[in-house]
Amino acid sequence: MLRMWALLTLLICCFPLPAQAGTAEPLFPFIKLEEPYGSVSDAANRIARTLSGAGYVSLGFADVNKGLRVMAFYKPQWLQAWANSSPVALFGAVVHVGVQQEGRHAVVSLANPLWRTHLYHMSPAIGQQLAADLAAHLGQGTPYGLKQGYPPERIADLRYFPLAYGVEDFTTIAQHPSHASAVAAVEAGLKKYHTLAKSLYKLHLPQRGTTLYGIAPIAKDDLITPLWQKHTLKPAAHLPYTLLVQPDGQVQMHHPQFALLAHYPNLSLRSMLSSLDDLYRPVTELLTKIAR
């Protein structure tokens, strides 16, 4: 049985089928901006100015290490509108940007809004609207993160891949009596573990009664480097990690197996299995400490 499970995972995850003729254009999890940038700070400042001028609100930034900065933005009017149509609008509406030093230049990457829209089963119109707006202000960029892109229906079905089969998108890592007490616990945890993590943002949706935290690791290379060594273009925009506080006091994070497939769907079977321990074990431990 174990051999069959491993074989199925290998076949499905490591040898993805290209999109068939007549279907939607294949998608990739990340987008690299083509415009050349100098230093990390120069690139980050230019991105922030451009998006601010386009009506986006900066949620903040965090320097994970000397050569890596992660940033987050959103448009208030879109967030409120989308919240009425989807319980996971927070994930689709927040734009994650990664800026990292590669030699003499800084590389800027985005989490692909179209990929995230299908990943979270949101209305395609949401991702299309956000992707078109970002492209108009930042340029089209180059998609990456896969050898071959996935069609939308394949992205939506990632949760059914053998590696993630039987798990939910989110796993509960703490339970508190109420939403307010859960938020207080997370805030206390962020203060306690401030040398290991920084809160990049806190975003609340009154309509849903949910609060989303974006949390970046600080100077903990074991939380970010294992998978990066396998990529020429480093997917910095997979950061920050997120905590979702539910109305009933549950604190949730992405299930490690689902998160791995969501951000690194084209890894080899060996890399996927080892990364669950090398990357997502310390991530889960850190976020659990913060949430409790």
Strand ranges (E), 49-164: 57-65, 68-74, 95-102, 105-111, 142-144
pLDDT in tens, 17-57: 444 333 478 999 999 998 778 899 999 999 999 999 999 99
Global pTM value: 0.83
User: Taking the CB of residue 247, how many other CB atoms lie within 10 A of it?
Assistant: 12
For residue 195 the two structure tokens come to: 């040398």
pLDDT at 243: 93
Residue-wise pLDDT for 137-176, tens only, equals 999 999 988 888 999 988 887 765 555 444 567 789 999 9
What's residue 8's pLDDT? 43
Which tokens sit at 278?
């090398």
- In CATH, what number is assigned to the domain containing residue 112? 3.30.310.70
Q: Residue 92's domain spans which residues?
A: 2-291
Q: pLDDT value at position 156? A: 81
38-45 contacts at long range (C-beta below 8 A, 24 or more positions apart):
38/105, 38/106, 39/101, 39/106, 40/67, 40/68, 40/69, 40/99, 40/100, 40/101, 40/106, 41/69, 42/106, 43/99, 43/106, 43/108, 44/69, 44/71, 44/99, 44/106
Q: Are strands 105-111 and 95-102 parallel, antiparallel or unpaired?
A: antiparallel
DSSP code, position 25: P
Decide: 137 and 118 in contact? Cβ < 8 Å. no
pLDDT digits (tens), the chain, 292 positions: 433 434 444 444 444 444 433 347 899 999 999 877 889 999 999 999 999 999 999 999 988 878 889 999 998 888 877 776 666 667 777 899 999 888 888 999 999 999 988 888 787 888 899 999 999 999 999 998 888 899 998 888 776 555 544 456 778 999 999 999 999 999 999 999 998 888 999 998 887 889 999 998 876 555 555 555 555 555 677 788 889 999 999 999 887 777 777 777 776 666 666 666 666 778 888 899 999 9
pLDDT value of residue 4: 40
For residues 86 and 123, the answer to whether their CB atoms sit within 8 Å is yes
Number of domains composing the chain: 1
